[in-house]
Structure 1
Amino acid sequence: MKGFGDNKSRNSNFAKWDKDSFLKNKLDLAKNFLLSGDVLQAKKIYSRLVNEGFISYDLFFSYSLLSRNSSNFKLAKELLIRSISIYPTKVDHYILLAEILRLEKDFSRAQELLLTACKINPRNSNSVYNLSLLYRDLNNIEEALSTINKAIKLMPSNYVYKLLKADLLKDKNNFKESELILLELYSNEKIEDKKDILLMLSTVKRLDSNFKESEKILLDIIKFSPKFGQAYLNLSDLYFDNKLLIKAKKIALKGISIDPNIPEMLVNLGVICRNLGEINESKKYLLTALSMNERLFKCYNDLSTFYDFSDHPKELKYLLNVPLDGLNREDIIRICFARANIYHSQKKFINASKNYKLANDFKSKIYSSNKNLLIEKSIKIKKDFFCKKEFNLNNHKNPELIFIVGMPRSGSTLLETILSINKQVYDLGEIEVLPDIMKNVDSLVKDRDPYEDYIKLIKKLAPQAKIFTDKNLFNYMYCPVINKYFSNSKIILCLRNPLDNILSIYRENFTKIPFSTNIKEITEMYLHHYDLMKIYSKTYTNNLFIYNYDNVVSNPSVEIKKIIDWLGWEWNEEYTAPQNNKRTVFTASSEQVRNPIHSKSLRGWKKYTNLLEPALEIISKNRDLKKFITQ
């Protein structure tokens, strides 16, 4: 009988229905595995379905989301690109792909995808929200604010959008308006879980220099939600930022005891212990964090500065072989620096060179060099303040100030550690007080004395201190300002073999020194600083001392005594054993200063002559410095 379709058509329809039903059941099973925390089983289901040729938007999106959350960006991108080609009018896969590209710092492609999503559905507030996140990452705060306002207009009930607006206002240092939004959200009875709001409010208070209120908010969160690990993590960060390392360590340990499944807390502990000089504990915490998440590449980078993984072959093999494809740029940079450090410790200098270059090449795509800006700034300061006269100002009411200046990685942390053996010394570290005061040079000269502003600020940190050391190395630019205005002040210029210094800067994963990604840029910066300080050292003969790192590590007892004598301090043999100083250290040299003074690093540049070719070419033409090439 006809009328019900032939058997072939019926069988085809049933086959399609069975296939769709099978797919739905498998996707539901995968989602249940995810809800129960069994990511591996969910991944196996998704992988098998894709390999067997199943095509579904839900399959592609769910598998790509899982891959993103597992940091497998390469697979996630492949799935999303395929999904977009098949389902071009869907919006969510554009947003997710843009998010991954944003994390990889591929901002132009991310923006293109989000604008396409907004064009497909202009009413989709999530597309607009993610576009605001993109503008924030591009440091275009005004555009980010304008865009998040559009998202809020589309969906005013979504408090996450308002939370981002508060975050953006915080980034503009508009703390009052940010706080008002957060307080409004906190008073909204429809929002049941307000911990994230309070966490951000605490951050706003911290950035607004209100340490006590920031601390109180976090302690209140812990009081009412004692198992909320993020609060312990933030409180630990707060104490760390304020150099309260013992308290930072204590709260992080408490957080781990309450919620042991936060590897970031272990990373914090590793960094805290390293700065406290507890190197074995630091290693233990960082390795434990890696055992929980092998893709915490920051751990590899931190560990590689003092540990060669010789007792952890599994972790070493993973580090040296993990594919870079699909990782975000920050993680690629960390891996390359870690590999380079390991190869350096193994004396495989060719491999080390390749990885240092690769790391810095990736860094240069994220951070534009600030060399020219620094040079222009120092030239302007010289023009405005320099005069060929040494003032020798005295003011016995105020403490003595010692400014440690020079290039990064010039032995300054060793010097600061030596000087802080004197019980009267309070070391300020690499503090930004003087640069912040001098941001508006002209108005400061006319309206107020920078010295008085400086003294007021540092006295808040240590009211009873008689001697302060300020180790913001780029304060070398302000030597004429210090000479003209700052009473009871001395300047110590740190110098070392320029080629060793240039290499050491290049080998360090600096994030706040953008010119460090290029050998030529570092060399030009070194020469500018050298030429400028040559002028200042000839002018300020009484108040400026040249500390030669190479001489100090070669003959510490003689050279350190010269420094102490110049400062007019009483000599003590303890100055020659800075490794016994238990002070906390917050610089890249935090581990090295825990060792006795040695000269092993001298002329280390000779192992990297190919890498240093641009520096060698420039320095060979400098009358003063070319001698270091043949030493």
Structure 2
Amino acid sequence: MDQQTIKELSSTGRHQECLQACQQLLQSEPESLVPWKYAGKSLLALGQFEKAQQCLAKAHQIDNKDPEIVKDIGNIFNAVQNDAEAIRLYKEALSIDQNYAPAINNLGLIAKQQGNLVAAGQLVKRACDIDQSFAPYHMNLGGIYKDLGNLDQALASTLKSLELNPDNPDALINLGGIYKDLGNLDQALASTLKSLELNPDNPTAHMNLGGIYKNLGNLDQALASTLKSLELNPDNPDAHMNLGGIYKDLGNLDQALASTLKSLKLNPDNPDALINLSGIYKDLGNLDQALASTLKSLELKPRGSAALCKLGLIKMALAQTEEAKKYLFDSIACNTQECEAYFALSQIIETAKDAEGLIESTKQIKTSHLTPRTRTFIEFALSNCLHKLKKYDQAAKHLKAANYNKLTVFPSDASRLQQAIALSISRSDPTEKSAINTNYGKDRIFIIGMPRSGSTLLETILSMNPKIKDLGESRSLEKAIAKIQQQKGCKSDHQDLNEVYSQLEPINNTQHKYTTDKQLYNFIYINWITAHMPSAKIIHCRRNPMDNILSMYRSNLTTGNNYTANLEDSAKVLVAQEKAIQINKKRYPEKIFTFDYDQFVNAPEDNLRKLLRWLDLDFDDNYLHPEKSTRSVNTASVIQARKPIRNKSVGGWKNYETLLKPALKLIQESGVKID
């Protein structure tokens, strides 16, 4: 074996063959530098660090002026995370050759790991300047620029790396990540798919692909790609975190919670996972745990813009508006691209001056870096500010853009809802039942209807009664029905719906006598409620359908309400809901009370007294002051629910009449009354 063969085997990654060649040469040339040096390199690549150090130490003894040998010894200590010794050896290599680029690059990578990105960038750029033809240096520099938030330079460096080595799957993954952050999702997708062509079983590439599909609104593909990544690497906390985010967008909060908790079990101190956990808890209505998760994230990352934004959102839900403003402004100060903070602020500003100021502040956003998801927040924020300024034509323009971008990420789910509504009225008795106690459900009040129909205001008003516990947008009825349906065919003792629901939503009789369940889409289960909880009360909230549609369109509602970003689909679902309610009111005339928001805000006391008589509750003046409530509100109606009862929004749809024409046409054709 000659020395040139050994070098070729090493450079092509054929390390076992290289070791055999080195051993053969050492039999005849025991003091030869090359076999000791390259045996050390191969052993290092194979993870045999102790043997590698022995070989490299012997090579250094033979030639103590070779910086590469010293650098490779440093690589051993780097591999076992002994940064101090690795740094000492890299500096020793530089004392031999001050322009030895590999040692400079490696010092830069350690600086990056230690969080000193500025020093890391300076060092790796110096390595690039010394050896401009070595692709990995440019790739490393691109990664550092990305972490620094300098996406343009990150892109340039990564493209330079790929110019030198077009088929590097790692550089292509990095390129995809940069394009994703730049908002160029099509090129992000292309780069990541090309990386997977070169290395199909790279779990990181599959995880990144899932993130890109998520931002593109293709949640099924996002789920498949992320699950594939976890199949290849089951213990990747980032993939579990991403999986939780996908399940959240799919509306599956239970699995979202489980995946995010799994991520935190693997990496308890990940501030990003804690923020995701906070969002899930917030959507579940558990604001205490949402707050705790956010505060822990801020402990780990004190100036985390996402955490500050989330804290502001929680403070909004807790009616702490001034604190909410402070945290939201702090979030923007930390990162001008924290788009959700602008949207949240646009919901709580009170004056025209504030609206003008927020519009001005949005000019600092790098719009070229926005994805459809983040652009949605900015367009909604601008629309809200212009609405405050009564510039309705301009507000409508941004509102249309906001919902267009939203639909690219969250396509309309109108068909699914329409099918569920149609099925719900196809039969009056959904399942066989044994003798039902007529008192079942006597302490339960179900509030149903369309989003933004006055339901949050109503629940806030009723919650002023200390005997009433508000459950918010509970999913317990749906879960209870699912459990009852699963019991079919089982030999075990069956539970009835009232029993299962009571287990999920128990009433502490020493504190409360009634509960209000404001899961609006429970109107799909009216047959179940009336059949199995015959004493339950059902309140149908409604308002002028055009005001209702506009309010939904302006509110950027969460997953499960995707149809509200499409005016025609909103009209179709509203009409289907209205017709289903009318059919059920004919079937169960004594079970359903219609709470008309428009009538109520124009004559609050008279209309409230009618409702309270139907509920068999006494009137109290406190009911008329929902602004005094301290309850948490975790819906898009949070701001309105904090204000005194007023009729300001009634008829507001006429300011947007041109925009609303497609919905107006469908409503008029349906025969649904427009007050």
TM-score interval (norm. to shorter): 0.7 to 0.9
Q: Which amino acid aligns with 1:92?
A: D
Q: Which amino acid aligns with 1:504?
A: S
Q: Do structure 1's residue 99 and structure 2's residue 147 form an aligned pair? A: no
| Percent identity of equivalent pairs | 28
Q: Measure how far apart 1:544 and its partner are.
A: 0.7
Residue aligning to 2:471: 428
> 1:105 and 1:129 mapped to 2: Cα distance?
18
Q: Do structure 1's residue 296 and structure 2's residue 338 form an aligned pair? A: yes
Q: Measure how far apart 1:416 and its partner are.
A: 0.3
Taking the TM superposition and a 5 Å limit, the aligned residue runs for 1:27-42 are: none
Q: Do structure 1's residue 261 and structure 2's residue 303 form an aligned pair? A: yes
Q: Do structure 1's residue 620 and structure 2's residue 668 form an aligned pair? A: yes
Residue aligning to 1:342: 385
Deviates more, 1:584-593 or 1:534-543: 534-543
Q: Which amino acid aligns with 2:176?
A: A
> 1:108 and 1:377 mapped to 2: Cα distance?
34
> 1:229 and 1:119 mapped to 2: Cα distance?
33
Q: Measure how far apart 1:433 and its partner are.
A: 1.4
> 1:38 and 1:334 mapped to 2: Cα distance?
32
Taking the TM superposition and a 5 Å limit, the aligned residue runs for 1:181-192 are: none
Q: Measure how far apart 1:495 and its partner are.
A: 0.7
Aligned residues: 554
> 2:192 and 2:531 mapped to 1: Cα distance?
54
Q: Do structure 1's residue 283 and structure 2's residue 325 form an aligned pair? A: yes
Contact 2:226 2:239 in 1 (8 A): no
Contact 2:184 2:371 in 1 (8 A): no
> 1:614 and 1:170 mapped to 2: Cα distance?
33
Cα deviation 1:249-282 (Å, max 9, x = unaligned): 5775687578633333322321222111111111
Cα deviation 1:350-382 (Å, max 9, x = unaligned): 221111111111111111211111111121122
Q: Which amino acid aligns with 1:496?
A: R
Cα deviation 1:94-151 (Å, max 9, x = unaligned): 10122345668877754543342244356766445645666788445455444543x4
Q: Do structure 1's residue 511 and structure 2's residue 558 form an aligned pair? A: yes
Q: Measure how far apart 1:304 and its partner are.
A: 0.8
Residue aligning to 1:500: 547
Residue aligning to 2:528: 481
Q: Do structure 1's residue 329 and structure 2's residue 407 form an aligned pair? A: no
* SS of equivalent to 1:505: helix
Q: Which amino acid aligns with 2:469?
A: Y
> 2:298 and 2:205 mapped to 1: Cα distance?
37
Q: Do structure 1's residue 271 and structure 2's residue 310 form an aligned pair? A: no
* SS of equivalent to 1:294: coil
Q: Measure how far apart 1:610 and its partner are.
A: 1.7
Residue aligning to 2:13: none
Cα deviation 1:421-473 (Å, max 9, x = unaligned): 11111111111112233348865677653232212211178896321111011
> 1:613 and 1:441 mapped to 2: Cα distance?
44
Cα deviation 1:563-601 (Å, max 9, x = unaligned): 111111111111111111111111111121111111111
> 2:293 and 2:224 mapped to 1: Cα distance?
37
Q: Do structure 1's residue 592 and structure 2's residue 640 form an aligned pair? A: yes
Structure 1 residues 64, 283: closer, same or farther in 2, change over 3 A? Answer: same
Contact 2:104 2:126 in 1 (8 A): no
* SS of equivalent to 1:493: strand
Q: Which amino acid aligns with 2:519?
A: N
> 1:491 and 1:41 mapped to 2: Cα distance?
64
* SS of equivalent to 2:634: coil
Cα deviation 1:204-247 (Å, max 9, x = unaligned): 49xxxxxxxx9xx89x97xxx9xx86798688668756756467
**Aligned partner (choices 630, 652, 672) of residue 604 of structure 1:** 652
> 2:138 and 2:236 mapped to 1: Cα distance?
27
Q: Measure how far apart 1:536 and its partner are.
A: 1.5
**Aligned partner (choices 571, 576, 579) of residue 531 of structure 1:** 579
Residue aligning to 1:572: 620
**Larger RCO: 1 or 2 (CA < 8 Å, sep 6+):** 1
Which of the pair has more CA radius of gyration? 2
Cα deviation 1:16-43 (Å, max 9, x = unaligned): xxxx969999989987986786767988
Q: Which amino acid aligns with 1:613?
A: K
> 1:44 and 1:529 mapped to 2: Cα distance?
62
Structure 1 residues 492, 338: closer, same or farther in 2, change over 3 A? Answer: same
* SS of equivalent to 2:546: helix
Residue aligning to 2:590: 542
> 2:261 and 2:580 mapped to 1: Cα distance?
40
Residue aligning to 1:456: 503
Q: Measure how far apart 1:84 and its partner are.
A: 3.4
Contact 1:304 1:342 in 2 (8 A): yes
Deviates more, 1:507-516 or 1:73-82: 73-82
* SS of equivalent to 1:299: helix
> 2:156 and 2:601 mapped to 1: Cα distance?
54
Cα deviation 1:474-533 (Å, max 9, x = unaligned): 111111221111132011111111111001101111231110111111111111111111
Cα deviation 1:329-348 (Å, max 9, x = unaligned): 22111111111111111112
Cα deviation 1:391-448 (Å, max 9, x = unaligned): x986447651111111000000000011111111111111111223334886567765
Q: Which amino acid aligns with 1:497?
A: N
Contact 2:568 2:663 in 1 (8 A): yes
Structure 1 residues 337, 75: closer, same or farther in 2, change over 3 A? Answer: farther
Contact 1:105 1:366 in 2 (8 A): no
Deviates more, 1:284-293 or 1:67-76: 67-76
Contact 2:291 2:314 in 1 (8 A): yes
> 2:613 and 2:114 mapped to 1: Cα distance?
68
Structure 1 residues 511, 466: closer, same or farther in 2, change over 3 A? Answer: same
Structure 1 residues 262, 107: closer, same or farther in 2, change over 3 A? Answer: closer
Q: Which amino acid aligns with 1:120?
A: L
TM-score, normalisation: structure 1: 0.75
Taking the TM superposition and a 5 Å limit, the aligned residue runs for 1:37-436 are: 57=135, 60-62=138-140, 64-69=142-147, 76-77=154-155, 80-81=158-159, 83-100=161-178, 110-121=188-199, 126-127=204-205, 130-131=208-209, 138-140=219-221, 141=223, 144-149=226-231, 151-152=232-233, 161=236, 164=239, 203-204=261-262, 243=285, 245=287, 249=291, 256=298, 260-307=302-349, 310=353, 316-320=359-363, 322-385=365-428, 395-396=438-439, 399-436=442-479
Q: Which amino acid aligns with 1:358?
A: A
Q: Measure how far apart 1:383 and its partner are.
A: 1.5
Q: Which amino acid aligns with 1:484?
A: A
TM-score, normalisation: structure 2: 0.70
Q: Measure how far apart 1:608 and its partner are.
A: 0.8
Contact 1:135 1:144 in 2 (8 A): no
Structure 1 residues 71, 490: closer, same or farther in 2, change over 3 A? Answer: farther
Structure 1 residues 365, 251: closer, same or farther in 2, change over 3 A? Answer: closer
Contact 2:173 2:205 in 1 (8 A): yes
Contact 1:393 1:488 in 2 (8 A): no
Q: Measure how far apart 1:45 and its partner are.
A: 10
Structure 1 residues 536, 429: closer, same or farther in 2, change over 3 A? Answer: same
Q: Which amino acid aligns with 2:139?
A: F
The RMSD of aligned alpha carbons is 4.4
* SS of equivalent to 1:482: helix
Contact 1:564 1:570 in 2 (8 A): yes
Contact 1:364 1:517 in 2 (8 A): yes
Residue aligning to 1:471: 518
Where does structure 2 lack aligned partners over 5 or more consecutive residues? 1-97, 249-256
Contact 2:278 2:291 in 1 (8 A): yes
> 1:604 and 1:314 mapped to 2: Cα distance?
24
Cα deviation 1:272-331 (Å, max 9, x = unaligned): 221111111111111122222222111111111111684597764231463422322221
> 2:187 and 2:620 mapped to 1: Cα distance?
61
Contact 2:136 2:161 in 1 (8 A): no
Deviates more, 1:87-96 or 1:570-579: 87-96
